């Protein structure tokens, strides 16, 4: 590109550092992303930033997509290009922002990984041998029983539970929404066992339902580590993270009830399209049954 164009890029990156006070990582990312666009310009014999059109940005992004870049990476590159052109507009070096209305290709939505009923039983029926494991079992049972998010479980207080009614209240779910959830019998028993131990060991003034050995609320990272430790100690080879229990709750409930709206309410999804991903899991389950059971489903051997 023309030396003036390269100077404009250098000035933009300097402005990010000095005026915007962007992190070093952000500045490096912006430089790298816009340098990819600069190479496109060189290939197309475009010497000035102002000469790029919407079709050029679209062709550039399409080319990056063909090279295997993810939707997330392409969104980041477009964001860098938009920011650069907004700077050029302010400096009077461009008349339009050619990247303004271009969207990155949508990434295929990954299906959440779930556990089957037997795997859940192996996880939750492994038994306890210490105070902390009694607490951990109560957490994991509640995860699977009520389909909680990790943040929701960590934020639970004693006052959020109504064990005689077998319910709990999520006060601040995603988007600040509250909801009342049922608590299954196994989870109620596990929680009652934990509360008996908690009453002896933890000061009455502490409101958190699940607390550490030091008597403070158990954070999200610690809950993840406790689940990992539980799996190792119980000889469970598969890597299981807390949200797999929430995903399994949703998948198993949908398999049994076929009531998508009910599952949406229990999960606290504001949009049913978010819940619909579990219908794909359900279909996979049905497809597997079909392949195993239908006399004409399997292909003949060659």
DSSP 181-230: EE--HHHHHHHHHHHHHHHHHS-TT--BSSB-TTSSBPPHHHHHHHHHHH
Class in CATH terms, 3-90: mainly alpha
113 carries an active-site annotation: no
Assign 227 a pLDDT band (cuts: 50, 70, 90): very high
Neighbours of 16 (CB within 10 A): 20
Rounded to whole angstroms, what are the CA distances from 184 to 144, 189, 191, 243? Answer: 9, 9, 11, 18
Q: Which fold, 117-241?
A: hpI Integrase; Chain A (1.10.443)
CATH 1.10.150 placement within the chain: 3-90
What is the pLDDT at residue 1? 76
Selected catalytic residue, list 60, 64, 135, 149:
149
Assign 107 a pLDDT band (cuts: 50, 70, 90): low
106 carries an active-site annotation: no
Is 0.75 surpassed by the pTM of this model?
Answer: no
What is the pLDDT at residue 87? 93
Q: What interhelical angle do 185-201 and 131-146 show, nearest 10?
A: 140
246 carries an active-site annotation: yes
pLDDT digits (tens, 9 = 90+) for 177-216: 889 999 999 999 999 999 999 988 888 788 999 999 889 9
36 carries an active-site annotation: no
CATH 1.10.443.10 placement within the chain: 117-241
149 carries an active-site annotation: yes
pLDDT digits (tens, 9 = 90+) for 12-56: 999 988 888 888 888 999 999 999 999 999 999 999 999 999 999
157 forms bridges with which residues in the sheet? 208
Assign 119 a pLDDT band (cuts: 50, 70, 90): confident
Cβ-based neighbours of 97, under 8 Å, separated by 6 or more: 82, 85, 86, 89
């Amino acid at each position: 590109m023309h030396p003036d164009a390269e100077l404009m890029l250098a000035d933009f990156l300097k402005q990010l550092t000095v005026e915007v006070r962007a992190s070093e990582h952000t500045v490096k990312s912006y430089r790298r992303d816009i340098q990819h666009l600069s190479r496109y310009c060189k290939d197309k014999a475009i010497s000035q930033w102002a000469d790029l059109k919407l079709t050029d940005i679209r062709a550039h992004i399409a080319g990056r997509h063909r090279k295997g870049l993810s939707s997330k990476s392409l969104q980041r590159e477009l964001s860098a290009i938009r920011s650069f052109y907004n700077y050029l507009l302010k400096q009077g070096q461009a008349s339009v922002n050619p990247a303004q209305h271009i969207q990155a290709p949508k990434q295929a939505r990954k299906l959440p990984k779930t556990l089957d009923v037997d795997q859940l039983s192996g996880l939750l029926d492994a038994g306890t041998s210490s105070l902390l494991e009694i607490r951990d079992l109560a957490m994991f049972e509640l995860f699977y029983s009520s389909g909680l998010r990790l943040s929701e479980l960590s934020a639970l207080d004693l006052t959020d539970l109504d064990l005689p009614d077998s319910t709990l209240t999520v006060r601040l779910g995603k988007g600040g929404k509250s909801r009342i959830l049922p608590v299954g019998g196994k989870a109620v028993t596990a929680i009652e066992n934990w509360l008996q131990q908690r009453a002896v060991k933890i000061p009455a003034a502490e409101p958190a339902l699940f607390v550490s050995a030091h008597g403070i609320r158990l954070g999200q990272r610690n809950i993840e580590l406790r689940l990992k430790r539980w799996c190792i100690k119980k000889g469970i080879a598969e890597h299981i993270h807390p949200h797999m229990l929430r995903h399994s709750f949703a998948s198993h409930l949908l398999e049994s009830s076929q009531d998508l709206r009910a599952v949406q309410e229990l999960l606290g999804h504001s949009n049913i399209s978010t819940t619909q991903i579990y219908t794909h899991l359900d279909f996979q389950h049905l497809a597997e049954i079909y392949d195993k059971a239908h006399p004409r489903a399997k292909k003949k051997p060659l």
